[in-house]
């Protein structure tokens, strides 16, 4: 989401005549778009600000520093005291605050924002479709910083997708903190029906140049049968679901206020696998949440073992000031124990991903090429993702059309690891969407 926000701000700056600097020390303005979902992310932002301060002090020409994103809450007194060298503070997506600071006379009204679309930096692009979150999980800072759910209209999103595809984008990922909530806040039609994510898939599906549609992140309770069926039925929508589990224990889920039981979660996963049998799935897990006992953590391991996700994003709990957990719960699990649990999830997942990825051996995968680099032996190695969102590295030693970033290439898989697939381009012709 932050990457998409940064590109939107960059597009606004470009419209006002600014250009991207090659390096921070050549810039007149540095915007740090921050994430504070975990302590580690916040520490990185603080440390980068320290680097910019030193840069600002040594520069003859002034450097203006703006901080945007989730580090910035409704009150900035503390931040201003901690970082007095920062020129402007802007809450998430408060692009205008930054633009008005540097160019106070600019006219940002009328068509300025509706017609400001990001410049893609590759064949895959993120498109935010719903901002904010209404869920208030006890550990999470997002609703306090990004506000309540607000969907963009289908028309505006469709225009953005067209704009991206005319600039070479072939895959879009529709983004929301809870992407299946898309449309719930939009006006209903005469029959009382509101648009949903399935309608949005349908509306952008035939965009010229577009080959793939992804969506991220799912909130289990918002997932509907109609959305799952549209993933199964629309060929450009990739069969990949990221559905955060967070914990495999009902008491911990209740403490987190996730709004579902583990039995309900498992049922949703089975329903998806029934309707979309080749679906790949990833999930998010937090270990060491307030009061999490060893047996509760083992329940999480058991669910991960049973459901066998393609990928697990695991994080050790860190209290976020201002959240319900920070205000009312005790952070009881020692850091060393959190890390032991985190490593246990990683070890389990490494074994599961090794087994799941091995099934791709000797198959041919459609890969959207996103990058290339020279290997030690001088050969070019291309990198991209298959429809299941697996990272694929491959070589193209001839016998087919030249490979370029943005191509969809069939790749014969000859080696697998827990983290990627490797192979060789099969004979192919470049396909127009």
Under the rule (CB under 6 A), what is the footprint of ligand SF4?
133, 135-137, 140, 142-143, 177-178, 219
Nearest 10 degrees: Cα torsion 210, 216, 219, 224: 10
Closer residue to ligand SF4, CB minimum distance, 86 or 181: 181
Q: What is the rounded CA–CA span in Å between residue 345 and residue 287?
A: 9
Place of tokens 């032996």: 377
CB of 142 to ligand SF4, least distance (A): 4
Closer residue to ligand SF4, CB minimum distance, 142 or 408: 142
The sign of the CA dihedral 297, 298, 303, 304 is positive
Q: What is the rounded CA–CA span in Å between residue 395 and residue 365?
A: 13
Closer residue to ligand SF4, CB minimum distance, 131 or 240: 131
Helix axes 294-307, 262-275, angle to 10 degrees: 10
CB of 143 to ligand SF4, least distance (A): 5
CB of 251 to ligand SF4, least distance (A): 18
Closer residue to ligand SF4, CB minimum distance, 83 or 215: 215
Closer residue to ligand SF4, CB minimum distance, 100 or 135: 135
Q: What is the rounded CA–CA span in Å between residue 268 and residue 46?
A: 39
Neighbours of 350 (CB within 10 A): 14
- Return phi, psi of residue 296, to 5°: -70, -40
CB of 400 to ligand SF4, least distance (A): 43
CB of 282 to ligand SF4, least distance (A): 15
Q: What is the rounded CA–CA span in Å between residue 23 and residue 51?
A: 13
Helix (H) or strand (E) holding 29: strand 29-34
Closer residue to ligand SF4, CB minimum distance, 143 or 291: 143
CB of 178 to ligand SF4, least distance (A): 5
Q: Are strands 364-374 and 380-385 parallel, antiparallel or unpaired?
A: antiparallel
């Amino acid at each position: 989401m932050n990457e998409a926000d940064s590109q939107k701000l960059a597009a606004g700056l470009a419209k006002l005549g600014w250009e991207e600097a090659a390096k921070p020390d050549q810039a007149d303005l540095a915007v740090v778009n921050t994430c504070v979902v975990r302590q580690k992310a916040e520490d990185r932002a603080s440390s980068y600000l320290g680097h910019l301060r030193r840069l600002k002090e040594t520069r003859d020409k002034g450097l203006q520093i703006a901080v945007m994103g989730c580090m910035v809450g409704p009150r900035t007194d503390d931040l201003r005291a901690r970082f007095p060298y920062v020129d402007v503070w802007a809450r998430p997506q408060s692009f205008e605050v930054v633009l008005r600071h540097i160019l106070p006379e600019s006219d940002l009204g009328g068509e300025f924002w509706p017609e400001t679309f990001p410049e893609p930096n590759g064949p895959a692009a993120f498109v935010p479709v719903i901002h904010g979150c209404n869920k208030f999980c006890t550990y999470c800072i997002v609703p306090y910083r990004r506000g309540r759910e607000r969907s963009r209209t289908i028309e505006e999103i469709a225009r953005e997708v067209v704009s991206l595809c005319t600039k070479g984008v072939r895959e879009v990922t529709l983004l929301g903190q809870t992407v299946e909530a898309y449309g719930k806040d939009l006006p209903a039609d005469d029959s009382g029906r509101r648009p949903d994510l399935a309608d949005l898939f349908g509306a952008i599906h035939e965009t010229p140049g577009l080959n793939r549609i992804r969506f991220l992140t799912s909130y289990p309770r918002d997932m509907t049968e109609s959305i799952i069926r549209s993933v199964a039925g629309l060929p450009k929508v990739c069969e990949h679901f990221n559905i955060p589990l967070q914990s495999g224990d009902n008491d911990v889920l209740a403490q987190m206020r996730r709004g579902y039981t583990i039995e309900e979660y498992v049922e949703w996963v089975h329903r998806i696998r029934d309707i979309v049998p080749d679906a790949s799935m990833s999930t998010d897990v937090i270990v060491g949440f307030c009061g999490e006992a060893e047996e509760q953590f083992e329940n999480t391991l058991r669910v991960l073992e049973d459901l066998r996700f393609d990928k697990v994003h695991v994080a050790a709990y860190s209290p976020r000031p201002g959240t319900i957990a920070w205000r009312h719960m005790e952070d009881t699990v020692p850091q060393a124990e959190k890390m032991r649990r985190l490593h246990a999830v990683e070890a389990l997942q490494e074994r599961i991903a090794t087994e799941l990825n091995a099934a791709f051996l000797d198959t041919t995968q459609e890969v959207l090429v996103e990058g290339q680099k020279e290997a030690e032996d001088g050969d070019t190695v291309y990198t991209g993702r298959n429809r299941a969102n697996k990272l694929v590295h491959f070589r193209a030693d001839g016998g087919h059309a030249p490979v370029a970033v943005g191509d969809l290439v069939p790749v014969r898989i000859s080696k697998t690891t827990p983290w990627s697939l490797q192979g060789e381009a099969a004979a192919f012709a470049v396909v127009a969407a």
